[in-house]
Every structure is written in C-alpha cells, then in structure tokens.
Amino acid sequence: MTNRAAAYKPGEVVTLTVARVSELGAFLDAGTGNSNDDILLHKAQQTDEVAIGQQIKVYLYLDPKGRLTASMRLPQMREGQVAKVTVINTSKDGAFVNIGAERGVFMPFAGMRGKVRKGDKVWVKLYRDKTGRLAVTMEVEDELRQASKPAENVKVGDLLTGSVYNYNDQGAFLFTQERYIAFLHNNEMIKRPQVGEELTVRVTYIRDDGRVNVSMRPQKEDAIETDAANIIDFLSKRGGKMPYSDDTPPEIIKEKFNISKAAFKRAIGRLIRSGKVEQKEAWTYLTGDTTKEE
C-alpha cells in the first residue's frame, strides 16, 4: 500500500477524516491503513468539537518533537498571496511571522528587506521553499504593483497613510490603505523609516501613471518655521555660531540638518530678515536676540 502519510507535509491545509478520539484529542486517518500513522489533532488545536467519521479541514505542522500534527486554526494566507503580517520572533537566521496559523512561518534572512524586529508589521508573500515547507519573503514588489490601483480623487496636499515595503537609492516605496503606490524621496524624509513602518505622508505630486510622490515634511510655510527653529537650536548648542551658510554644499546641509539646501536657505533667509542671525565669511552667527518678530 502506498504510504500516503509521507505525502502530507507541514504547512499544508488538507481535509482528513477523524478515525478515533481520546482524552488527548482526535486522531486523523493518514490513509496508510496503519493507525500508528494517524495524525493528532490535540484538543487545544480544536476550534469546534469533532466526532468519529467527520471530515475536517486542518493545517499541518511539526510539534516540538518533529511529529506531524494538525490544527483547525487555518492560515489566513494562501500560497502565492501577499499580506501584511506581524513579526513574532527573530533569530540570526531570519524571523517568524504570524499568518494566523497554529505556528509562525519562517522568513529566511535572504528574504528580508532591512532589519526587522519583533512586533513589526511587514508585507510578505507566502511560498514553499526547496524542502516543501511554507515560508515568507518581503520581496513583494511585483505582487503589490499588480494589486495597486491608480490614485483617484487625490490632490496635492492630501494626507495618505501607508507602510514602507521597499527602498532604492532614491527613496522608499509605500503601499497605502487605498492601495496606491507612493514614492518618498530621500529629500522628503524627516527620518529614514524602517521597512514595514506605517507613515502618514503628504501628497506632493500626482504622476501620469496614477502613482503619487509624497513627503514626510509639512507644508512649506510650516516647514520654514520648523527648520528655522531647528537652526536656532543648533546654533544655541554650539556657542551661537556654525561654519554653515548659504555657500555650504547641499550634501553637508543634508547631513547636518536633514533638509535640502533650498529648505535651509529659506529658513536662514527668514532668520536673517527677522534679525535673529547674521552671516559673515561663510559662517552663521546668532545675533543675541532670538525673540525678535519679523
């Protein structure tokens, strides 16, 4: 007789018949003709009471001793699907995520986008690895592009909420709650977000292909006030002077203040007009009165 039990693999969802029950739980017929091959459905893994002869859809996994075991708690994802899931544990080899099944599913280090931490919510795709076990990867760019839709009824200045799913050299890509794809350029970041991090961002441009460009920074007028206050704070902590001015290269401005050269010049210009700072020989100095109004 063919050993059908060998065909059952951890990570599969299958329908099996209850062969017998005991105080421990129900034993599901593995189809080998040998009751020793029956698969345990422990009482703790039952969501409803079961009876002999009943056919039950179950999720198969390995218990701590490596034995094939069943659960009536089914995964909320199917193989090939993408979903946003929670990281439940990490190790030097990867991480485990919650897909709604009895056990967490492994995400190998090679399938990660950046560093993930316990509690992070990340976009993943469910697949079967070379050993036949279910696993997930954060490489979901193609799937999210297919699932996305063009931005509708959106205008510049609107706020959108989405989570980061990938980076390139220019910035980060977000998948929003409305299923839009949004691009966040490095210059529009207040801080560098983690992959999986949820952000509320402002629409700065609507592209012809229906995607949007977004910013973490506030509207220009609000941003000038914020940037000016940060520059005053920077100067105050350094004895009222700094070797940065309108002549400083953009990359240094970005490194020191995390804003663009244009934003820096707008903020400095406002501070000079209000008499709070002055510039001499490529240095910027506090005037001694940071309470002046324009």
Q: Model-level pTM?
A: 0.62
Question: Are the C-beta atoms of 218 and 227 separated by less than 8 Å?
Answer: no
Same structural domain, 61 and 105: no
Task: With respect to residue 60, please indicate whether it lies within any of the assigned structural domains.
Answer: yes
The whole-angstrom separation of Cα 69 and Cα 42 is 8
pLDDT at residue 289, as a whole number: 58
* 211, 152: one domain: yes
Residues 6+ apart with CB under 8 A from 195: 113, 114, 116, 122, 138, 164, 165, 166, 167
> Is 66 contained in some domain?
yes
Beta strands 212-215 and 181-185: pairing type?
parallel
* Sheet containing 283-286: order of strands: 241-242, 283-286, 277-280
Domain final position from 23, 49, 71: 71
Please report whether residue 130 resides in a domain.
Answer: yes
Residues of the chain whose pLDDT is less than 50?
1-5, 290-294
- 3-class secondary structure, 246: coil
- DSSP characters for 122-157? EEEEEEE-TTS-EEEES--HHHHHHH-----S--TT
In a domain, 62, yes or no: yes
pLDDT tens digit string along 181-192? 999 999 899 888
Within a domain: 3: no
Last residue of a domain, one of 215, 237, 254: 215
- Per the CB < 8 A criterion, the answer to whether 242 and 235 are in contact is yes
Q: What pLDDT, on the 0 to 100 scale, is given for residue 222?
A: 72
Give the domain-ending residue among 189, 215, 241. Answer: 215
Strand partners, 181: 175
**Domain assignment present for 76:** no
Determine the pLDDT at residue 172. Answer: 95
Question: 109 Cβ partners below 8 Å, 6+ apart?
Answer: 92, 93, 94
CA–CA dist 139, 124 (Å, integer): 7
The domain that contains 31 carries what CATH number? Answer: 2.40.50.140
154, 209: one domain: yes
What residue type is 237 in one-letter code?
Answer: K
* Residues 155 and 211 occupy one common structural domain: yes
Q: Note whether residue 5 is domain-resident.
A: no
**Distance in angstroms (rounded) separating the CA atoms of residues 141 and 124:** 10
Domain count, the chain: 4
What is the C-alpha to C-alpha distance for residues 42 and 195, in angstroms, rounded to an integer? Answer: 37
By three-state DSSP, how is residue 91 classified?
A: strand
pLDDT of residue 237: 93
Rg (CA), the chain: 28
Q: Do residues 176 and 162 lie in contact, with contact meaning Cβ atoms separated by under 8 Å?
A: yes
- Is 190 within 8 Å of 217 (Cβ atoms)? yes
Are 101 and 53 in the same domain? no
Q: Residue 92: which domain range?
A: 82-139
Domain holding 274: CATH number?
1.10.10.10
Check whether residue 99 and residue 62 sit in a common domain.
no
77 in a domain, yes or no? no
